[in-house]
Amino acid sequence: SVAYDVFLSAFLLKAKAYNILQNEENLATQVLDSYMKTAISRFNSACSYNLLNFNDDIREIEENIEQSDLDEIVDIVSEGMVVCWLQPFINNTADYTAYSPANLTKANYEIYKESKSEFRKLVKNYTYSHGDLTELHI
């Protein structure tokens, strides 16, 4: 099994690197968990593991993932979480101020586009390396 926090920690590192996270103390675990689940649902059909085995009671995915595959999967899912994090800000600038004191800037939109593109590329690369290409629906 894999703890949800493995994915959340990777997301937080990326969010800090992209400079899109102002105050992580205000982040609700449930919100981050929902981003993780959304990113996983977008990736799961291409993944060679079933990542949808969520156990919310102990906050773990109940799937035996080879350690050699885990880093790649965490990278893909956390990139998808960045997309999920930025999407509401991009789609509705009026709601943006409710989430962050920062102003929506062209730079944030560029980060969103780059992150979305990177997520798609990572999923495609994973599928080419690990999966059945007929299952790729991105």
How do residues 56-90 score in pLDDT, each as one tens digit?
999 999 999 999 999 999 999 999 999 999 888 77
Query: Among 77, 66, 71, which residue's Cα sits nearest to residue 43?
Result: 77
pLDDT of residue 101: 43
Please count the other Cβ atoms lying within 10 Å of the Cβ belonging to residue 23. Answer: 9
- 126: Cβ–Cβ under 8 A, 6 or more apart, which residues? 43, 46, 47, 72, 73, 76
- The whole-model pTM stands at 0.81
Query: In whole angstroms, how large is the CA radius of gyration of the chain?
Result: 15
- 60: Cβ–Cβ under 8 A, 6 or more apart, which residues? 1, 2, 3, 4
Residues of the chain below pLDDT 50: 94-96, 98, 101
